Chain A
């Protein structure tokens, strides 16, 4: 359903020079599965999610969503996905109903089908109380519910959640996770990026650990633990990150020692896990 190959994103920064946000990222996610991208802040998760949702374009590499290249036909790709992130807010001056209806129309839905789908979604997510509430009057949890409803109004085969529980209280986050699990059960292909270990552990069928734009390890929870001989996903995560950080420092040190100067916050372009 989603095939990502050697996806690279380099930001040109006036002060820092080239900033490698994604470094040859490759992974696959299938229908009926939740693929978790797990990584600390600044790992490149949001950049990857934005490229998959075609908000950003990659510097190099390819990403196919349901067989469509994100760079070749971004509009069609956006029809195939629903994108929810902590950056995708709801409109303050629109009611919950209007917001979802608007995105249904942008997705080209016929009026009859749209109304049926909206009734279904509002029913399923128990959102009837949000019909006439303006975005500015909604709580964070309500907004996130509307965001999810907005993302799935056109019943896309792929759903992308970028830190969708970030900033939510425990109860609302639990609701969101339940919804994501339900969507998986309905056969959707879901990419779920998070920096919260327990979410990835409970929810994801496959997990990719990323740091500084690189994919460090990938597999099901059981496979990862077996491969790295760890009993706890959290421990495994820390081990991977620390090892990678150390290799980055070594890499920098070797670069700077060649040049006769000391390392400063330059980001590594090339780094490998041992």
Chain B
């Protein structure tokens, strides 16, 4: 790669973008104007909600005791409300009017429920009171009963009733204010009562609770900013990358300048790097401008609000070192977002089409950005391995000055981010080398054309979009099935649920889509002839690679420990296994059914569909992503993704899903069988000792020689598949059809 060429492309693209008013507005003008404007609106709103005085109508003020008066000169006494509180609570001392009448009527009807603060059940009375309250312009009513003073004097408990509308902000604020004031009044009366009886306050309040906050203001500030700043920076890094990427790829295609560039001596890799650096520059620029504009405006807005709230902690400026760490983290993150945006934008034929692709990127990125903001999200090995989330958590630790903790996990976070960057850049280069992407034929979107495509213009294989739709459909079905399904109480119930899931919810929709959307459903589902050796070798490979896969499973479970109640799961598994008429039924449900249904769906319909508009690895990886996502639990999903990639590769090399089905079946059979073996089997079957030894929790694990021998055989077969070319793939195989247990040993 010639970096001089990359530099020329970078300079040109940069200048081009800077001459585009829309881009300039989005990356520079918008952040500089948006935050001050937002701040102004926010302050106005805060001002309105905080400083707006509440109108409180009081009935029965004459019933209040004369001693320690609550109300003096038609205002709350300064003993219970300071000057500002008096200003914020405008009193109306009312006599018996319609409103009072309605309130009393409701009170009588619901007197038994009032202490639970329930609104009255009598809808008509309630509606009438609500209407009167609205008409009067009062935010809440306070009713002191007729005998209030008498009962207080007699040291009997009495009630004060507040009528308000929780659906209205002003009414809620009024209630908060009056409740706080009445609380102070009540405490005062209680203290007086105790004093009159010469009882120490310690009799009823034996101890006080004193909180000591050891955090300094700086660290409290850092804790708030460490959640806000990375999110703002990351979301703008994504937005700042996306729009220039669309213009530099889809926009160039649209304007016809991409072909001009492709016919220049610059290689595709140089073109991608030149564009990538431009997109990165804009991504970082947008993000930093937003960061500074937000911090600057935020400082004024938050301090003004603090002044308004009187006494609440002023948040103040973000710690200075936070900016440094944010800028450092921006480099790999912008690279990741820029390469992703570039790869996706290269797929679009027009800027308009490109805009549609922002939503899927946001749907994947935003949850990863939100995860570290959730309470309890901690930086550990598991979270550090999640792209974007890990980086955000390390940033949080750095902003909060937890340097040692951040450094502990810096290596995995940087490793994962770097690997993701490399993979995505590689993907972007592949997209630019792919004629199908660069000169992609139009897939018209619209009801009419959709119908025509579905019925008249069916191809032998589903389109890319149809394959993605199938994947999303299976995910949605899976989601609702999980919501509806109940925990099986017996083997019969489990068998019924599993059958419905695989046959009805996977095979059914996939077969239907293959028949409706394609002219060759068998080819679409991957039910092709293949070289006969692929079948026994796939079975042998699944069995021999099992030690590696098992090791990987254990590693995943160590990094991401299961949160679910292990005891309940164990009990459920025992119910299922003990209730099965024979072990064959277990194999049918845990191995055969998933092997058939999932292979037809993921390696059949989805992978073959994706292959129509993307290269081999994109199709394998995307179909494996869907395969992993349908497994629900994160731990199962990770394992299923990697196993799915391996199975997808086998299926691709063999040109058929039959070896994939046999691999899947064997893998699940071995996993389920192994979960049923324990140390007692080693004693009764001594030959097992050649392969297994006692493992954790009474289970078995592979012996070292068996581990190496089996792995070597497995890898050798993998190499055989790797060398297999399609011209070698022949021979007739019958085709079958049918099925993922949501529970149990981690099968895929």
Contacts and interface: CB of A to CB of B under 8 A. Distances in A.
A14 B612 contact: yes
B634 interface: no
A106 B5 contact: yes
**Which of A14, A78, A88 has the most chain B CB atoms closer than 10 A to its own CB?**
A14
Contacts of A74: 267
B459 interface: yes
A93 B16 contact: yes
Contacts of A15: 453, 457-459
A37 B89 CA distance: 90
Interface residues of A, number: 36
Contacts of A56: 435, 439
A78 B265 contact: yes
Contacts of B458: 15
A107 interface: yes
A78 B264 contact: yes
A13 B441 contact: yes
Given A15-B457, A106-B8, A150-B260, A94 B16 contact: yes
B8 A105 contact: yes
Contact of B257 (A85, A90, A105, A108): A90
A54 B268 CA distance: 11
A46 to B, nearest CB: 10
Contacts of B613: 14
Interface string A209-240: 00000000000000000000000000000000
Contact of A89 (B4, B16, B255): B255
B422 interface: no
B256 interface: yes
A91 interface: yes
A272 to B, nearest CB: 28
Given A14-B459, A15-B457, A56-B435, A89 B20 contact: no
B461 interface: yes
B29 to A, nearest CB: 18
B19 A89 contact: no
Contacts of B20: 93
Interface string B621-642: 0000000000000000000000
Interface in B209-261: 255-257, 259-260
Nearest to B263: A83
B459 A75 contact: no
B435 A57 contact: yes
Contacts of B9: 106
Nearest to B433: A57
Nearest to A102: B12
Nearest to A74: B267
A91 B257 contact: yes
A76 B15 CA distance: 27
A148 B2 CA distance: 25
Interface in A31-76: 50, 53-57, 74-76
Contacts of A83: 263
Contacts of A75: 265-267
B414 interface: no
Interface in B246-297: 255-257, 259-260, 262-267
B260 A94 contact: no
B74 to A, nearest CB: 70
A88 B259 CA distance: 6
A155 to B, nearest CB: 13
A53 B263 contact: yes
Nearest to A9: B435
B460 interface: yes
Interface string A141-169: 00000010010000000000000000000
Contacts of B267: 74-75
Given A15-B458, A56-B435, A88 B8 contact: no
Interface residues of B, number: 34
A89 B264 contact: no
B656 to A, nearest CB: 19
Interface in B439-488: 439, 441, 453, 457-461, 463
A91 B17 CA distance: 11
Interface in A92-146: 92-94, 102-103, 105-108
A107 B265 CA distance: 6
Contacts of B256: 87-89
Contact of A94 (B12, B457, B463): B12
Contacts of B259: 50, 55, 85, 87-88
A251 interface: no
A249 to B, nearest CB: 23
Contacts of B5: 106, 108
A92 B351 CA distance: 15
From A74, A79, A102, residue with most partner B Cβ within 10 Å: A102
Contacts of A88: 256-257, 259-260, 263
Among B4, B256, B436, B457, which residue has the most Cβ atoms of chain A within 10 A?
Answer: B256
Contacts of A89: 255-257, 260
A139 B255 CA distance: 15
A16 to B, nearest CB: 8
Given A53-B263, A75-B267, A91-B257, A102 B8 contact: yes
A107 B436 CA distance: 27
A53 B12 CA distance: 22
B60 to A, nearest CB: 76
A55 B257 contact: no
A94 B260 CA distance: 14
B302 to A, nearest CB: 40
Contacts of A93: 15-16, 19-20
A15 B12 CA distance: 39
B463 A14 contact: yes
A85 B463 CA distance: 30
B8 A78 contact: no
B258 to A, nearest CB: 9
Contacts of B15: 93-94
A17 interface: yes
Given A88-B256, A89-B257, A91-B16, A54 B8 contact: no
A49 to B, nearest CB: 10
Nearest to A105: B8
A106 B265 contact: yes
A14 B461 contact: yes
Contacts of B265: 75-76, 78-79, 106-108
A17 B461 CA distance: 10
A90 B9 CA distance: 15
Given A13-B441, A87-B256, A92-B255, A54 B263 contact: yes
Contacts of B436: 12
B255 A103 contact: no
Interface in A144-203: 147, 150
Contacts of B459: 13-17
Pick from A12, A13, A105 the residue with the most CB of B within 10 Å.
A105
B287 to A, nearest CB: 24
Contacts of A16: 459
Contact of B266 (A53, A91, A106, A150): A106
26 contacts: A14-B441, A14-B460, A15-B458, A53-B263, A54-B263, A55-B262, A75-B266, A78-B264, A81-B263, A85-B259, A88-B256, A88-B257, A89-B255, A89-B256, A89-B260, A90-B260, A91-B16, A91-B255, A93-B15, A93-B16, A93-B20, A94-B12, A103-B264, A106-B5, A107-B264, A108-B4
Given A14-B463, A87-B259, 11 more contacts: A13-B441, A14-B460, A55-B259, A56-B439, A81-B263, A88-B257, A90-B260, A106-B8, A106-B9, A106-B264, A106-B266
Report, nearest first, the 10 A-B pairs whose CB atoms are least far apart: A89-B256, A83-B263, A14-B459, A88-B260, A93-B19, A78-B265, A15-B459, A106-B264, A53-B263, A105-B8
Interface of B: 2, 4-5, 8-9, 12, 15-16, 19-20, 255-257, 259-260, 262-267, 435-436, 439, 441, 453, 457-461, 463, 612-613
Interface of A: 12-17, 50, 53-57, 74-76, 78-79, 81, 83, 85, 87-94, 102-103, 105-108, 147, 150
